[in-house]
Amino acid sequence: MENAASANGYISERIPVAPEWDEVFDPFYYALNKQQVPVRKKLLPTFQTILVFNFGGPILLYPDGDDKILTVGKTVVLGPLKKAFEYELPAGSEMLVANFKWDAFYRFFGTALQPYHDDLQHPDALLQQKHCFAGLWEALKALPQMEQRIEKVLDFAGAYLRQREAASEALIDNNSPTDVLSPVKTIAGKKGQTERNIQLNYKKYLGYSAKEMSRYQRFQQAAALALQLFERRGAVDWFEIIYQCGYYDQSHLIHDFKHFLDLTPAQFIKFQSDICIAGS
């Protein structure tokens, strides 16, 4: 367990799953606001779909800044998380987040979630079963330890999880960020299928396109390298980032940071304490 408890009463932890679940879930994310005032954080994009259990007051999401506010009740699914957004935990709130890896959400629910717009999706609607997750939430709420809650979620997931399909496995096996060739072209050639069919499989199993993922992986590499350089040197040579990550120029790099985070690269470094990564 990675504990990031802060002196001001906001606690966040990342809790790894057992090896047999590593193909399905990234570490669970847990947050507790012990302060007397709300805490506002920015959630980074992971291109994962998440399942949120809220054990306190309503959590507020700001997907488009302050122009739109969505309210999280007890349980909700979100994703794929393609862009950063801010959220607010009220005083005394407690939250547990399950992060589905790759096609795991499809294997659980039988569909890839499409990005939300005006309403949040309750997981019972996807399973087409009433009170299924409501009962799970009640069981989780009654457990005193967060590790016990995670074990309960895993036991619950095991009853619904399907085997990975061959078409989905091909997408995951051919999705390296270092590949020069387009994964769509590579898979289509190997499987003797049209590129259009492979593109549809991305949407079906993962909820996003190969092009979107490639752009995100380049940004992810740039963000990680920037943090490494800052930790080692106390400053970042952005031209080194541009060269190593394959950006055309500084404006290209800034454009991606603004697209995914609504922050400039320099702001990303400056506001690290306010940023949350639910998945890996």
**What burial letters (b/e) apply to 109-140, b meaning 16+ CB within 10 Å?**
beebbeeeeeebbebbebeeeeebbeebbeeb
| Ordered structural domains, the chain, with CATH | 2-158 (2.60.120.10), 166-208 (no CATH), 211-276 (1.10.10)
Q: How far apart are CA 98 and CA 17, in angstroms?
A: 10
* Predicted local confidence at residue 278, as pLDDT: 65
3-state SS class at 9: coil
First to last CA, the chain: 13
CB 120 within 8 A of CB 75: no
Query: What are the C-alpha distances in Å from 35 to residues 2, 7, 94, 145?
Result: 21, 10, 11, 20
Contact of 44 with 276, CB cutoff 8 Å:
yes
Of the CA atoms within 13 Å of residue 144, those in its CB half-sphere come to 0
Chain segment 148-205, per-residue pLDDT in tens: 999 999 999 999 999 999 999 999 999 877 766 789 999 999 999 999 999 999 999 9
For residue 191, give both structure tokens: 């499987």
- Side chain identity, residue 246: G
- Cβ atoms of 136 and 51 closer than 8 Å: no
- Point out the least confidently predicted range of 57-71, 88-102, 251-265: 57-71
What does each C-alpha distance from 63 to 48, 113, 270 come to in angstroms? Answer: 16, 16, 21
Q: What's the pLDDT score for residue 1?
A: 43
Q: What is the pLDDT of residues 6-61, one digit of tens each?
A: 547 889 999 999 999 999 999 999 999 999 999 999 899 999 999 999 999 999 99
Residues 6+ apart with CB under 8 A from 235: 229
Q: Cβ(37)–Cβ(26) under 8 Å?
A: no
pLDDT band of residue 97 (cuts 50, 70, 90) is very high
Peptide bond into 38 cis (omega under 30): no
Q: What is the pLDDT of residues 74-95, one digit of tens each?
A: 999 998 999 999 999 999 999 9
Whole-angstrom distance, CA of residue 238 vs CA of residue 109: 41
